[in-house]
Structure 1
């Protein structure tokens, strides 16, 4: 009678350990998802800033290429 009870206790402990590990994995997945979301938002803001900063340069570059009134260019 000892061995079947011992095996039952071991099985219960194994399931309990797996349950605790599953909870820990779930918590880490939530933290990771939040970090990915924050990183994505930061990348989006940086892309918007870069686009705003590049717009005047692109128009100036086009004016220089066409030669219509850019400083130092042909007029």
Structure 2
């Protein structure tokens, strides 16, 4: 199963990114585990300096901005 992590402190942008990811998963009828990572040391461990960040199966796909739904779809469809 796909593993998705949202990196961030829980700010508005992080919440927005979570909603975008959940909407795309629903539209694609995909299942994935979605985890919020809020610990700063864990976020730094991914090399992300600006949040929000999106990690899919251990790879950072976006950082420092909210990607569009189309961008997220492309990443999740692989």
- TM-score interval, smaller chain: under 0.3
**Which of the pair has more CA radius of gyration?**
1
TM-score by length of 1: 0.26
Structure 1 or 2: more strand by fraction: 2
